[in-house]
Every structure is written in C-alpha cells, then in structure tokens.
Amino acid sequence: MTQQGDSWWDKLYDESAPDTGPTASGDTLDDRFDTAARATTGPPGGAPADTTVPPDAKSPTRPAGPGPRAAAPAPAPESTAPEPVPPPVPTAPPAPPVPAAPPVPTTPPAPPAPVAPPAPTAAPEPPSPGPPVPGRAPWEAAETGPRTFPAPPVEAPTVQVPVPPDPPGQGPDPEPGEEKERDPEKEQASARTDHAPTVQVPVPRPRTGFVGSRPPTYDPEPTALPVARPGELADVVADTVLDGARYGTCTLRAASVRGDSARFRGEPRRDALLTARFGHDEAALVLVAVAAGSRAAEDAHLAAADACRWIAEAVCRSHNRLSEDIRSGRRGDLKSGLHRLTDRTYGKLRARAAERDLAPDEYTASLRCLLLPADPGCRTRVFFGIGGGGLFRLRDGAWQDIEPLLPERAAVTGAPVVGFGSPPATPATPEATEEGDRLTMDLGITTAPGPLVEEPVPPPAEPFRFRASVARPGDTLLLASPGLAEPMRGEPDLARELADRWAGAEPPGLAAFLADTQLRVTGYADDRTGVAVWEA
C-alpha cells in the first residue's frame, strides 16, 4: 500500500475506534470503498447501527448511508473569511474522496437498538492458480523428488468356513407351565447351510517339512545350479517339474524334484518325468513315464530323458491297439506288447551309449510307466517297466506295496523255449560228421553254410515288470522313483504322514502335492519323483 493509502486508512480506522471485526481487503480502489461502506452501514439484517462516537474520535458522526457505490459529495462553497492555512505536508498526497452521506432526517430518531455483534466475513479467496503444468493435474502439487508409496500390508490368504447352525428345535427355554411350540418351517430354515454365516480362517502356505527325530543335514531349498556348457544348453534340466490332469474317474498329480544332495553340490536332476495324452475322447490314453539315471554316470540325466521320450514315442504309435486291449481286458496281449516296446527303448539306449563311446551300463536308467485310459467306464490301471522304484496303493487309510515280485534267479526251472537253444529229445542221427559238417538227414548230403546272423541283443540287467489292476473308488495309486520308494519303505513316519494327507475325499492341488512329495527324511537325499492317481 502506498503512503497515501496508509494515511487514509489511519484516518478511517483510528486506534480509538471500536473494532469492527476481521475484514477482507484488497489492493484496488473498489475494495477500499467496499470496506468503508461496510464500516459505516452497521450490522446486516436491517438493524440500526450505533451512531455514537467517542469524544476523542477524529471523524464526524455519520448515519448509515447507501451502498458502496454512493455518489461523491458536492464541493463546498468557498468562504470569504480568511482562515489560517496549515503548513502543507510535502510528502502526503491528497486523500481519496469519502462517500457522501444522505441528509439527516428531521424526525426524532428511534431509541437505539442493542448493538449486534459484527457478522464474520468470508475468508479471503485464494489467488487464482497459474497455468497447469503439462503432465500433471492442476490441483496436484509440484513434485520436487521421487514419489514413494507405502507398501500394502501383506495379508495371509483366507477361506470362508460356514458356521454350523443351531440344531433344529433349539431356542430360548419356554416359561414355566408353557409348552415349547415346534415350527417345522423354522426348523428346516435353520437347518439349511446355503446361507449360513461364514468366518474367514487363514490358510497356511505350504512349507517343506520333515519327518523323523531331527531335520536333514542339507538345506530344504536349492542352493546351487548345475554347470552349463556352450552348445549343450538344450540338455539343461530344471530343478522341479510339476504336472497334473483329470480324465475319466481319476485325478493325476505328478512331481519330480532334485534331491537335497544334488541341490547342495550343484548337480543336475537325474530323474526324468514325462506326461502325455494320445488320442481323443474315450479312446484316449494317458502315459506317465518316470526314469531314474544312475548316480555314478555323468550323463545319467540325459539317459533318463531319452528313455522317457523313446517309450512315449513307441506308445504313441501303438496307442489305439493298447487302448483297445486295456478296455477289453486282454492282459496277455498287453504284457507281450509292452515288453517289446520296452526292449526297443533299451536297445536305443545301448545304441546311444555306443555313439558316445560308453559302456551300456554307463548310459542307462530305470524306467517305470503308468497307462491310464480316459474312458470313465474303465478302471484298469496298467503298470510296466524295468528297474528299481516302487508301486504303492492307499486303500482304507493304509498303504499296500503292490510292486510285482520277481522270482529268484536260482528258482527259475524248466527247459528252454523251443527254437531258442532247446536240444532234441532223442537224436537219432549224429548232428555232424567227424569233419564237422552238419547233416540234415541220413543221406550224406551236407548243407551250405547259412548267412551271417548277429547275436541277439542281450536283455536288460533286470527283468520286465508288469501289473494290471482294477481300481476301486477311493483308492490312491502311487508310482515312485527309487528316491521316494526307499523312504516310503524305510521310514514309517513318512508313509503315515502321506496316508493322513491323501486319504481325504478331494485330491490335493499341484502346490500341495509338491509340498507333500518334498517331506524330507534324514538319510534320504536322492531325487524324488512321484505320480499319484486318485480314484473318484
């Protein structure tokens, strides 16, 4: 405010004048007129203002005048009498004109009304904002640094559990002498559970636990990755494989996990798992192949993967015939056909070992498979394979070891099969002459030497295993690799814990099944692969 404005303000609002309350003022001349008008008109609502001025006031008494836009007063006539002129103030500019007051009425004024307190004025309006900054809303404050947001609280997942209603007929006890009336409709309504109140119960996350007296030595989670080489990245094996499906009356869960020892040493998972479906609709056939490589072999994980892939290719080419044999119950044809397919798979493994300049036992793996028909009317489950592992069945809350038993080699009796080295019963003629020529008949005619025939492919080190069984509703079939079968047989706590978890009506989900198969046992740190089938 200029010096002139300050002098005018001091004259209008002297320190001895009564306080008129807080007002909003501006820098323009119109705002000053508005302020002066409000100060002279008195309180709002038409109440007459108090015109009494204290004796020491400098300004004369003025009644309430018109609005803030009153006309300026006419100039006063010049006086002829000389008056003393005060010395001019060189620094003070002329004051602005004061609004004119209306003429004083001649009627006696009414008795003064009680002075009303001044009404509070509106708060000063904020200055208008400037032009908005591009990329930001006009009401947002300017950013002086990176914006951070608090992380939302982590809440555990919950499930809604219905609260059981009160049993029918329960309620407040009747008064003495009165009989409690039964309302069937109310009892039926209270027995319904579709609209029953529910409570939220936190669901614990699946954790890798252990059974036994003490935890295992190794860490429960992976700690080191296998070494990868240039040009062999396609042979990298994941730490864990998880799969599942539902066909017909069975629900399938399959998991293969690297063992604690391999995780600690940074070795690849030697177990291989393959799940595949061949065909469509009711004629479809589901194959689950599990292979376990030898721990002593360096390329054991490659041999296990080859075994699973080659047996799947063989089953895929013959799946129509195999599916028909399973649904028709032709077990003899199934056993002989699957035996041939398995022998061809191991023949390919021996050929691959020769390509790598390895001995046959250095590039091999145990192989165990399950065949599950997708036909809901067929509950036949077929197992076949070669090598160690386990086949278990959970029925009525107890495990049954249904691994096909193999006879001891010393207990095998009987003559060789005809055509594969069986000698004649009573040779009537000598088989060869003294010179070594073979005779066909006693005619003295020698036979020409036959074509060169390679020796037959030697059979696998272990015999072929086969089992076809009919499942019952509520059964759970478990196909296990050696890393899972050994603790199932050697640690009763593991078998008991899995029985408690899997004996329910509903099969576990993929995450829960993975946590179940990773139940650790002290002394068993090999790879684990398990395939479970729940029967509806």
pLDDT in tens, the chain (536 residues): 555 555 655 665 555 555 555 555 556 677 777 777 676 655 554 444 444 445 454 444 444 444 444 444 444 444 444 555 555 545 555 555 554 545 545 555 555 555 555 555 555 555 555 555 455 555 454 555 555 445 445 555 565 656 555 555 555 555 555 555 566 666 665 655 555 566 665 655 555 677 776 777 777 788 889 888 888 888 899 999 999 999 989 999 999 999 999 999 999 999 999 999 999 988 999 999 999 998 888 889 999 999 999 999 999 999 999 999 999 999 999 999 999 999 999 999 999 999 999 999 899 999 999 999 999 999 999 999 999 999 999 999 999 999 988 766 555 444 443 333 334 444 444 444 554 444 444 444 444 544 444 455 555 568 899 999 999 999 999 999 999 999 999 999 999 999 999 987 789 999 999 999 999 898 898 999 999 999 98
Total number of residues shown for the chain: 536
- CB–CB of 284/244 below 8 Å? no
Q: How far is CA 233 from the centre of its chain?
A: 29
What are the tokens at 245? 């499906």
Q: Which of 524, 531, 181 is nearest to 516 (CA)?
A: 531
CB-CB neighbours of 439 under 10 Å: 15
Q: Strand, coil or helix: what is 438? A: strand
Q: Angle 300-317/331-355 helices, nearest 10 degrees?
A: 140
What are the tokens at 379? 């509950």
Adjacency order of strands within the sheet including 465-470: 271-278, 285-293, 365-373, 380-386, 465-470
| Distances 414 to 118, 259, 411, 481 between C-alpha atoms, Å | 126, 44, 10, 33
- CB–CB of 197/163 below 8 Å? yes
Q: Strand, coil or helix: what is 243? A: strand
Output the pLDDT for position 229. 84
Burial class (CB in 10 A: 0-12, 13-18, 19+), 333: middle
Q: Say which residues have a Cβ less than 8 Å from residue 404's Cβ, sequence separation at least 6.
A: 383, 391, 465, 466, 467
The DSSP 8-state label assigned to residue 306 in this structure reads H
Output the pLDDT for position 23. 52
CB-CB neighbours of 499 under 10 Å: 15
The DSSP 8-state label assigned to residue 264 in this structure reads H
- CB–CB of 476/394 below 8 Å? yes
Residue entry with tokens 């020529």 = 437
Which secondary structure element, helix H or strand E, spans residue 345, and what is its range?
A: helix 331-355
Distance CA 290, CA 256 (A): 9
Torsion of CA 297, 303, 307, 309, to 10 degrees: 160
What are the tokens at 67? 């609005």
Q: Angle 482-490/492-502 helices, nearest 10 degrees?
A: 100
CB-CB neighbours of 92 under 10 Å: 12
Q: Could you tell me which residues are beta bridge partners of residue 95?
A: none
Output the pLDDT for position 33. 72
CB-CB neighbours of 430 under 10 Å: 10
Distance CA 254, CA 409 (A): 34
- CB–CB of 47/116 below 8 Å? yes
